[in-house]
Structure 1
Amino acid sequence: MFKSTDNIDLYNKEMDLLIEIDSILKKNNFSNINETKENIGKILKISSKISHPIVAEQLFGITASFPNSYVRSKLLKFVESWIPYESAVEAVVKITHDPDDMVSFEAMTICGNEKIELSIPYLNNIVGKVSNRHNPGKPVGMGAQIVVNTLLNIFDYKDEQNLISREDYFNNHMKLEDNYILKLDIDNDIKEAFKKLDEPNMIYIEEGYFDYGISENEIEFKDFKWDDNGIKQKVWIPAYYIDEYPVTNKEYDEFCDFVEEYGHIFCHPNEPKNKNHRRNTYYDSRYPLDAPVSGIDFYDAYAYARWKGKTLPSEFQWEKAAKGTDNNIWPWGETFDKEKVWFSGNMLNKDISSVTDWHNKLIEHYYSQSVAKRSEEVNVIRNISSYGVKNMTGGSWEWTKSDYFTRRQFHPGYSNDHLKFNRYSVLKGGSFFSHPGLMYSAFRGKDIPFCRHDEMGFRCVKEIPVHLLRKCHKKPIENKAIY
C-alpha cells in the first residue's frame, strides 16, 4: 500500500525494476536451459517487489506477449499473485487463448482455482456447455479436458443438477449468483496501516454493512425506471477513503496538462487510441474551474483516478458513502429537499411539476441558452452525508467502476453486445439537468464508457489493493461487492 501523494514517485522508482527485468530478458541466452531457468528465478524475485499497479500491468503485458513460451508460462506466477486485480484478471483470461499449451493450460488452471467468472464465455467457446461434457463434440484432446476441468472448478461442481442450475443462471445473467454479505478476514496490521495513510481531502469510511438498494415504498418519484436499483439488502465492504468533494474542473485540467506532456501512462488499456482527454466543457464559461468536473467519459475519469494513485468507486462504495451511517434515502434524510441539491429546478430557477414539464423546460433552456452558469462551485455545500462526504447528490453525475448489468468490476474491453454486460458503467447522484426521480442515492444511471456529456463527473476512492485482500483471505473472494 502507498499514500496517493506518493503515486508518481513510486511509479518512477518501480519502473527501474521493470527496466532491470527487461535487461535480464534481453541478455538471456534462451538456448541455455540452466541460464534461462536461473534468470526466470531472478525475475520472479525482482517482480515480488512491485507494488504499483501500473508497473505491474507492464509486466502483465510482457507475460502475454513475450516470444518465448517458457517465459510466458513462468511469468504467469506474477500475474496470479495480483488476482483479482482487474488488469490481472483480464491478462489471465486473454492468456487462456495463448497458442502454446504450456501457457494456456496454466492460465486456465488459474481461472479455475480463482473462479474467474470473466473467463467463462471464452472457455465455453472452446467446449460448449460444460454440462454436455459427457457427449463432447470437437475438440476432444487434452486441451478440451483442461477447459472442462477449469469450468467445473469455476462452477464449484458438486453434482449434475447443481451444475446445470448454476450454468443456466450464468447464461441468463452473465455472472454467478450474487453474494454480498460475507466478511473478509483482513490482517489487523494491514487495516491499521491503511487507516494510518490518512489520505488528504478524503473521508475514511470503516468496513462494515450497509443497506444497498431501496424498497419500492421508499421511492418518492417513480417516474423513471427504478426496479433495477436492487432489492434492499445488507452488503459488506472493506474500509476505504472517498473524496470529500467531487473532482473539480481545475484539478482535472492539471491531469490533462500531465497527459499532454508525458503521455497516456495511467490510462485504461482499452481507451480509444490517441484519445484527447480535455473535457468538452473546457472552453465554456458556464462551467467554472472550481465546479465539479464535467464533460468527461469513463476513460477520462479512470485515468485521472490512477494518475492520483486512486481508483473510481464501486457503486457499493459510492452508495454507502452517500447514505451515511443511518442508511438514509438521501444524504440528508428520508425526503427530497430542493434546497439541498443543485438540480434542474435550482439551475433554471423554476418549479418542476412533472416529467413532461421537466422535459419542456430543459429543451427551452437548451435552445435559448438562458442560464449563465450551469455548474455550481464545490464550496457551495448543498448536502453532506453523515460520514462528512459533500455534494454527492446533484451537481454532476459521478462515474463508478461497476458494470451496470452484473454489478461486478466494469471491463469495457470484454463487452458482450447480445447480453450488454460490460457495455455500460454505473452512474450515480444526478446532475444540474436532473429530475428528482433520478437523484436518490440508490438510483442507478448508466452510460457507455466513451460517451461524454457535460453533466458527467466523478470523485475517487482509495482502497486496500484487492490482491492483498485475496492474500489475507487465503482463498478466492466470494463477496462480489468487493470486486
Structure 2
Amino acid sequence: MLHELFEEESITALQGREYRNRIQQIEKWLADATSDDLSLEQLSAWAVGHADWNVRRLAVETLAARFVAAPEARAAICEAIHDDVDWVAFTAIKVAGEHRIPESVAHMIRISGWPSNFTKPAYARKPVGCGAAFTKRALLDFFGSVDPEELRELENRHFAELRAQVATARREPDLRDVVLVPAGPFIAGARVTDIGPFQMDDSDNPLRVEELPAYYIDRTAVTNARYAEFLEAVGSSKEFAHPDEPEGKDYTPAHWHDPRFNPPELPVVGVDWYDAYAFARWAGGRLPSENEWEKAARGTDGRVYPWGDTWSDDKARCVFTAYGRNDIHNLADLEELLVTTTVAWPEKPVAAADSHPDGASPYGALNMAGNVWEITRTNFFTRADMAPFFKGRTGQEFMNRPEAFHVLRGGTWTSPPVCLSTFYRGKDLLTDRHNEVGFRCVYDAAPVTER
C-alpha cells in the first residue's frame, strides 16, 4: 500500500479528481502512520526529491511534526526552503519558524535579509509577496523579538560560532610583493576610435570615469616559483576550488614541463580561469575585476600604455621583441608570422615577471603591457563577475555561451602594440590553458568590515 500511494509515475499520471484523491490519501496515511511505519530517511528523500510537489510539501510537514529533533530532518527542511515550487518552500519556511530550527536562519536571511534591518521603523522597502512575508515572520518567530537593536544582538550571538570558524579558516593575504592602488576615480575605456591596420574595434569600451576603493595588486604576474608553492600546499585538496570547477581537476599548468615557459622567474602560463581562481583564494586574495586591473595599469590620467601615451619596444614584451621582427604592419603580416610558431620557436617567448622596470605602471606594477595576457574575474559580455555553471559539461557544450568567457587584459608575447594598450579587452574560454596567458591577484587594502 505504501509503495502504491507514493509511487511517482502513478501520481504524475493522475488527473483532476483522481489526483486530488490520491493526495488526500497520502495526507491521511502520513497523519495516521505509526512510528514503525515512518522512516526518517524515506521522508527526507521525499521532502527534497519526490517528483510531485504536494508529496514534498506533506513530507516536510511530517518531518517537522515527527522528527524535527533529528539533524537529517532539519537539513531536509532547510533544503526545501529553496524548493522551486512556492508552496513547498512556504511550508518549509513556516515550520522552520514555528519549530525555531537554528540551521534555517542562514537560509532565510538570503530571502528576506536581516530582521534587524527590516524591523527598523524607517527602513525603506517594497511591498512583498507571500514568500518574503512568510520568511520575515519565521525569522521573527525564531528570534522572538521585533526590536531592531535586540535583534541585532541576537543575530550576532546566533552567528558567533560560524563567524569564528570563518575567521579561523580565512587566509591572510600574501602581500610579500604588492603595490597599492589608492581609492578614487580614474579614466577608463578606449581613447582610440579608428580600427587601424590591425582591425581593432574598441567601440564596446567607451571612455568613462570609474571609481574604486583602495586595493593591493601583485607587483608582477604570479611566477612559476610562487605557483609551485601553491601546488605543494594544496596537493589534491579542493579547499579553494570554485564550486563549478570540473570534477577531478588538476591545477598543474599545461606547460609545467616546457623549458621555454617553466623557469621559476617567468610568469606561470598554461592555467585556466579555475586554476587562477583557486590560487587567488589560497593567496588570500581574488582575481582582479577588469576595472581593478585597468586602474592599476594606467593610473588616473587615461594613458594609453602603463608608462605613457607613446609606444616603446624596450618597455614591453610583444610580438616584435619575442620574434625579433619589427616589420609587422598589419593583420595579414601578423597572421603570416604567427603561423610559423612551433613548439620550439620562438626560443624565449616570455620574459621574467619582474622585467621591463622602465615600463612600470604609475603604481609600480610590472609587465601590465605584454609578456602574458592576464586573467580577470569579469565576464567579457556582461561585465559582471564571472558566475560559471558548467560543471559536468564538456567544453563543446558551453564554448558558445556568453557566460563562459572572461576578460583578458594586457596583451601577450604574440600581440602587436595595439593589444597592449591599457584599455584593450581580450577574452578567453574559462577552461582554455594557453602559453600566452597568466594572471595576478588583488587584495583588500584594509580589512572588510563584516556585518
> Which TM-score applies when normalising by structure 2?
0.62
1:305-324 matches, cutoff 5 A: 305-324=280-299
Asked if the contact 1:310/1:461 (under 8 Å) is kept, the reply is yes
In the alignment, structure 1 segments of 5+ residues that lack a partner are 1-29, 41-61, 74-93, 115-141, 151-195, 472-483
Q: Which residue of 1 aligns with 2:336?
A: 360
Asked if the contact 1:343/1:433 (under 8 Å) is kept, the reply is yes
Q: Which residue of 2 aligns with 1:459?
A: 440
- Offset at 1:69? 1.3
- Offset at 1:219? 7.6
Asked if the contact 1:297/1:450 (under 8 Å) is kept, the reply is yes
Q: Is it true that 1:286 corresponds to 2:260 in the alignment? A: yes
The answer to which structure, 1 or 2, has the higher relative contact order (CA under 8 A, 6+ apart) is: 1
What amino acid sits opposite 1:249 in the alignment?
Answer: N
Q: Is it true that 1:406 corresponds to 2:371 in the alignment? A: no
Whole-angstrom CA distance in 1 between matches of 2:400 and 2:435: 28
Q: Is it true that 1:267 corresponds to 2:275 in the alignment? A: no
Q: Which residue of 2 aligns with 1:432?
A: 413
| Percent identity over paired residues | 30
Higher mean C-alpha deviation, range 325-334 or range 216-225 = 216-225
Could you say which structure has the larger radius of gyration? 2
In the alignment, structure 2 segments of 5+ residues that lack a partner are 1-62, 95-104, 115-127, 136-171, 392-396
SS in 2 for 1:236: strand
Whole-angstrom CA distance in 1 between matches of 2:134 and 2:432: 40
Alpha carbons of 1:464 and 1:278: their partners in 2 closer, same or farther (altered >3 Å)? same
Whole-angstrom CA distance in 2 between matches of 1:197 and 1:280: 26
Asked if the contact 1:70/1:102 (under 8 Å) is kept, the reply is no
1:16-415 matches, cutoff 5 A: 67-70=75-78, 100-102=89-91, 110=110, 146=131, 199-217=175-193, 223-228=199-204, 230-260=205-235, 262-287=236-261, 288-351=263-326, 352-366=328-342, 369-382=344-357, 383-413=359-389
Whole-angstrom CA distance in 2 between matches of 1:96 and 1:398: 39
Asked if the contact 1:393/1:440 (under 8 Å) is kept, the reply is yes
Asked if the contact 2:90/2:131 (under 8 Å) is kept, the reply is no
Whole-angstrom CA distance in 2 between matches of 1:377 and 1:201: 15
- Offset at 1:223? 1.9
- Offset at 1:96? 6.2
What amino acid sits opposite 2:420 in the alignment?
Answer: M
Whole-angstrom CA distance in 2 between matches of 1:299 and 1:97: 33
Alpha carbons of 1:213 and 1:243: their partners in 2 closer, same or farther (altered >3 Å)? same
- Offset at 1:302? 0.4
What amino acid sits opposite 2:206 in the alignment?
Answer: I
Asked if the contact 2:375/2:439 (under 8 Å) is kept, the reply is yes
Whole-angstrom CA distance in 2 between matches of 1:97 and 1:414: 24
Alpha carbons of 1:420 and 1:392: their partners in 2 closer, same or farther (altered >3 Å)? same
User: Cα RMSD between the aligned structures?
Assistant: 4.0
Whole-angstrom CA distance in 2 between matches of 1:441 and 1:397: 12
- Offset at 1:398? 0.5
- Offset at 1:430? 0.8
SS in 1 for 2:308: coil
Which whole-Å deviations, capped at 9, do the CAs of 1:326-384 have from their partners, x for residues lacking one?
A: 331110111222221101110110112221111111111327x3322221112322520
SS in 2 for 1:412: coil
What amino acid sits opposite 1:265 in the alignment?
Answer: E
- Offset at 1:224? 2.3
Asked if the contact 1:204/1:242 (under 8 Å) is kept, the reply is yes
Which whole-Å deviations, capped at 9, do the CAs of 1:30-86 have from their partners, x for residues lacking one?
A: 8799996xx99xxxxxxxxxxxxxxxxxxxxx9xx963315875xxxxxxxxxxxxx
Whole-angstrom CA distance in 2 between matches of 1:208 and 1:427: 23
What amino acid sits opposite 2:418 in the alignment?
Answer: G
- Offset at 1:457? 0.4
Whole-angstrom CA distance in 2 between matches of 1:399 and 1:447: 9
Asked if the contact 1:206/1:238 (under 8 Å) is kept, the reply is yes
- Offset at 1:255? 1.4
Which whole-Å deviations, capped at 9, do the CAs of 1:365-409 have from their partners, x for residues lacking one?
A: 327x33222211123225201111111111111000011111111
Whole-angstrom CA distance in 1 between matches of 2:369 and 2:377: 18
SS in 2 for 1:303: helix
Which whole-Å deviations, capped at 9, do the CAs of 1:104-153 have from their partners, x for residues lacking one?
A: 89979846769xxxxxxxxxxxxxxxxxxxxxxxxxxx98x659999xxx
Equivalent residue pairs, number: 320
Alpha carbons of 1:149 and 1:292: their partners in 2 closer, same or farther (altered >3 Å)? farther
Asked if the contact 1:96/1:108 (under 8 Å) is kept, the reply is no
> Which TM-score applies when normalising by structure 1?
0.58
SS in 2 for 1:258: helix
- Offset at 1:450? 0.7
